[in-house]
């Protein structure tokens, strides 16, 4: 320390005491600065994480509107809950906004954050912390568009006292200008027994099914190309033969002849000109298939190499359907 060097050189009698005091003050000041910086850092980090988790939660939630509030109705100043209840036709009428908040919270409707869903109407709750209305609370409706801009409607707005609020802070400032202190409690998917938002799981799109067609020989019809159902149903006509589609091999069980040898794509399974029915098939490839059997209708879908149809029952196959996996 330079002060100690100068004091020693000049034989200043207070050098030692002064150095001790300055060292102690330096240590104390350093500790205070470190604690202050850590406090600020944790505060920022905590808020950032909280928002991140909230945003993450909202991205995974799928919500839809079940009630569109009639927000344009008139209101009386001070009767905030009546305005909201009337706008959504709530079946219950609670004594105060604070009591309505407690009821909604007990139902699990309240989210204690400021991440109101976009593109939907929701309900907002505040506590009133001072003045004649302390303990009665405040409630409003809010719409947040897809850009995050909000419009808050309450009894003040629809009694003609002002335009809709553009933020939570703007509403707090409005009441604060009259000496009323509000604390935001959260947003809700409903109030007084009326749920206006619900969790929604969109139906999964139907899987894309690709049918494989081919040529087939049908009793009394002869050869014909088919794109989906190979053969006929409801006409009592036997399927006598069909061409194995590209990439598919197969075997067929024929009346009185039994199982054929395994044949390759482009070859024919079955017979023509001798009035013999196909009774069962086994196909091979990256496919599923089923057959329409006389008197039984459609079988279940089977995988490559499995039997579709019957043997030993003298029942004809009338149609085949093949789909890609």
Kindly write down the DSSP assignment for every residue of 182-195, as one continuous string.
EEEEEEESEETTEE
pLDDT digits (tens, 9 = 90+) for 5-63: 545 555 555 556 655 666 655 555 544 433 333 322 222 222 322 222 333 344 445 89
Element (H, E) at 190: strand 190-191
What single DSSP character describes residue 187?
A: E
Beta-bridged to residue 179, according to DSSP, are: none
Check: CB of residue 123 under 8 Å from CB of residue 196.
Answer: yes
165: buried, middle or exposed (CB in 10 Å: 19+, 13-18, 0-12)?
buried
Contact between 250 and 275 (Cβ < 8 Å): no
What pTM value is reported for the model?
Answer: 0.53
Q: Can you tell me whether residue 299 is helix, strand or coil?
A: coil
CATH 3.30.420 fits 63-199, yes or no: no
d(CA 292, CA 309): 8
pLDDT computed for residue 240 by the predictor: 98
pLDDT tens string 112-124: 999 999 999 999 9
**Residue range(s) in the chain whose domain bears CATH number 3.90.1720:** 63-199
């Amino acid at each position: 320390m330079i002060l100690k060097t100068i004091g020693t050189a000049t034989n200043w009698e207070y050098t030692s005491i002064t150095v001790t005091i300055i060292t102690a003050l330096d240590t104390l000041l350093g500790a205070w600065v470190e604690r202050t910086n850590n406090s600020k850092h944790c505060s920022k980090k905590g808020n950032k994480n909280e928002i991140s988790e909230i945003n993450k939660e909202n991205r995974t939630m799928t919500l839809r509107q079940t009630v569109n509030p009639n927000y344009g109705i008139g209101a009386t100043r001070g009767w905030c809950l009546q305005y909201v209840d009337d706008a959504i036709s709530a079946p219950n009428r609670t004594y105060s906004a604070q009591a309505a908040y407690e009821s909604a919270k007990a139902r699990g409707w309240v989210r204690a954050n400021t991440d109101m869903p976009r593109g939907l109407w929701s309900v907002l709750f505040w506590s009133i912390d001072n003045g004649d209305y302390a303990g009665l609370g405040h409630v409003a409706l809010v719409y947040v568009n897809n850009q995050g801009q909000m419009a808050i409607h309450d009894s003040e707005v629809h009694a003609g006292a002002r335009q809709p609020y553009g933020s939570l802070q703007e509403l707090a400032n409005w009441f604060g200008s009259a000496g009323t202190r509000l604390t935001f409690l959260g947003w809700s998917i409903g109030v007084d027994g009326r749920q206006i938002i619900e969790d929604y799981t969109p139906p999964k799109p139907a899987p894309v099914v690709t049918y494989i067609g081919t040529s087939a020989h049908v009793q009394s019809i002869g050869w014909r190309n088919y794109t989906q159902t190979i053969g006929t149903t409801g006409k009592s006509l036997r399927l006598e033969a069909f061409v194995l589609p590209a990439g598919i091999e197969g075997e067929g069980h024929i009346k009185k002849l039994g199982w054929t040898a395994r044949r390759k794509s482009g070859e024919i399974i079955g017979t023509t000109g001798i009035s013999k029915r196909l009774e069962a098939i086994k196909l091979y490839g990256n496919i599923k298939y089923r057959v329409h059997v006389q008197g039984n209708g459609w079988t279940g879908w089977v995988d490559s190499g499995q039997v579709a149809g019957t043997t030993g029952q003298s029942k004809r196959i009338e149609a085949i359907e093949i789909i890609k996996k």
